[in-house]
Amino acid sequence: MVDTLRIDTGAVRLAINGDENRIIEFNPEDIVFVERFYSLIKEFESKEVEFMEKAEKLAENSELDEHGIPVNTGENIKLVIELCDYLRKNIDHVFGQGTSAKVFENNQTLNMFEQFFTGILPYVNKARTEKISKYKK
């Protein structure tokens, strides 16, 4: 008989939309994860400015084609796809390869990324607050 040593790593497991086949796992207590997570947030803030500038530049052209569709619709779509691809790649870097496919499947909307970060942030903040409060005592 072998005894077992159980170690609570602090990992969080979340089922996406309650689907047990779409579980993501991350450890908000792992300092390497936290560093990557906060780096992604900080990097995205500067990247967001870049994307907003591109979007504003595209919005300057209000010309419509013969069907009443903005002539730069293709460029706007490419810009959103570029941002989605950027976020997917970086989410996979922080949370592990395949996370973005598990979470978002084949969907490409900016709103889902906001929902993802809004859902994850409380776990990270809670873990960091608890860690810091230990050392403040």
Q: How far apart are CA 32 and CA 55, in angstroms?
A: 34
At residue 130, the pLDDT reads 72
pLDDT at residue 54 is higher than 70: yes
Give pLDDT tens digits for 10-39: 899 999 999 999 999 999 999 999 999 999
**Rounded mean pLDDT of 36-65?**
92
The predicted pLDDT at position 87 comes to 96
